[in-house]
Amino acid sequence: MTQLVLGQVLNGAIIGAMYGIIALGITLTFGITGIVNFALGEFMMIGAYATYALAERFGWPYPVAVVPACLIAAAAGYLANKAFFRFTRNNLVNGLLVSIGLISILESAALLFWTATPLEMHFVLPGALRLGEVGLPKMKLVVFAVILAVIVLTYLGLARTWLGRAAFAYAQNPEAAMLMGVHTPRLETAVMLYSTGLAGLGGALYASLYSLEPAMGGVYVLKGMEAAILGGIGSLMGSLWGGVILGVIEGVGSIFLPTAFRDAYGLAILVAILLFRPAGLFGTE
């Protein structure tokens, strides 16, 4: 039983960290630029399939494949921003419409290229660490560590640098930021590149653990959104913990409750928490 619960906690934490990385992208993009990008899951899907293609079809070592996969996702994000998203600033409805359109186009493209058959990569890092009775798969630990590192570095990067100060200033008042000499179009592009590249990284990590399907992005963006709300929109560390908490609840819950309802009890807990903390766990307003 302990083995089962601990295993599910770890599993939940890993999946939750992936929710967290999407949540981070959503909260960064919305918080800084006022753009709603609900299609982030698709950039995760792009990153995942790019990793698969580079590693399995071209035979690149996995760590080498991850970097270009992130870049490909970011490049796709750049195009999406230039073509659509930059026109949706501070307009929730248009952001949603663009997102829904992108989701259907990108998902269909993936179906065309890769078919609906789930794809699986070879084990990147086999074996498990044994802690007493509990086995922790090494790759899952690596993935968790990478995501944790990325989110902490993002947080430090924004809290301690001039670029971060400019980003927060832009989030509070774009015009005033421009009057301080901030190159605002470049800042907006940078946020878009970073959030979609990050989603690509999430996808690349996902590909090393789970099987890929064209529709994977849709699930993750919903969970990412839940995680962002749970943690508190605008809170960077909150997005990570929101994701992990959600993932663990789903993982552990599915031991005791029917697995078919895992989405529901995640949501039930979200609603319960928002009843007491309407701004989310780490939110301030």
Partner 1 sequence: MLQLDAVDCHYAKVHVLRGVSLAVGAGEIVSVIGPNAAGKTTTLRVIAGLKDVSGGAVRYEGEDVTRRPAFERVRRGLILVPEGRQIFPRFSVLDNLLMGAYQRPDRHDLDRDLATVYELFPRLHERRGQKGGSLSGGEQQMLAIARGLMGRPRCLLLDEPSLGLAPIVVAEIGRTIKALAARGLTILLVEQNAAMALELADRAYVLESGHVSLQGQASELRQTDVVKRLYLGA
Nearest residue (CB) to partner 1, 89 versus 165: 165
98/166 Cα distance (integer angstroms): 27
Nearest residue (CB) to partner 1, 86 versus 165: 165
Residue 199: partners with Cβ closer than 8 Å, 6 or more residues away: 21, 22, 25, 40, 41, 43, 44, 47, 73, 77
Chosen residue from 130, 172, 259, 272 binding partner 1 by CB under 8 A? 172
156 near partner 1, rule: CB under 8 A:
no
Residue 33: partners with Cβ closer than 8 Å, 6 or more residues away: 89, 170, 171, 188, 191, 192
Tokens of 68: 């270009």
User: Cα–Cα–Cα angle for 10, 251, 129, nearest 5°?
Assistant: 20
176 near partner 1, rule: CB under 8 A:
yes
The residue count for the chain: 285
145 near partner 1, rule: CB under 8 A:
no
Chosen residue from 178, 267, 269, 274 binding partner 1 by CB under 8 A? 178
Q: Residue 24 CB, nearest distance to partner 1 (Å)?
A: 20
Residue type, 122: H
165 near partner 1, rule: CB under 8 A:
yes
175 near partner 1, rule: CB under 8 A:
yes
Q: Residue 141 CB, nearest distance to partner 1 (Å)?
A: 37
Chosen residue from 173, 263, 277, 278 binding partner 1 by CB under 8 A? 173
Q: Residue 138 CB, nearest distance to partner 1 (Å)?
A: 42
169 near partner 1, rule: CB under 8 A:
yes
3 state SS of 86: helix
Q: Residue 160 CB, nearest distance to partner 1 (Å)?
A: 12
Q: Residue 181 CB, nearest distance to partner 1 (Å)?
A: 3
138 near partner 1, rule: CB under 8 A:
no
Chosen residue from 4, 90, 120, 183 binding partner 1 by CB under 8 A? 183
Q: How many CB atoms lie within 10 A of CB 260?
A: 8
58 near partner 1, rule: CB under 8 A:
no
What is the distance, to the nearest Å, from the Cα of residue 239 to the centroid of all Cα atoms in its chain?
Answer: 9
86 near partner 1, rule: CB under 8 A:
no
50/171 Cα distance (integer angstroms): 32
Radius of gyration of the chain (CA): 19
Using the contact rule CB under 8 A, the part of the chain among 3-11, 58-66, 76-84, 162-170 near partner 1 is 162-170
10/59 Cα distance (integer angstroms): 30
Chosen residue from 180, 215, 219, 268 binding partner 1 by CB under 8 A? 180
* 162-172 and 184-207 helices, crossing angle to 10°: 110
155 near partner 1, rule: CB under 8 A:
no
Distances (CA, A) of 60 to 48, 63, 70, 217: 14, 8, 15, 24
Chosen residue from 59, 126, 132, 181 binding partner 1 by CB under 8 A? 181
Q: Residue 89 CB, nearest distance to partner 1 (Å)?
A: 16
Contact residues: partner 1, CB under 8 A: 162, 165-166, 168-169, 172-173, 175-184
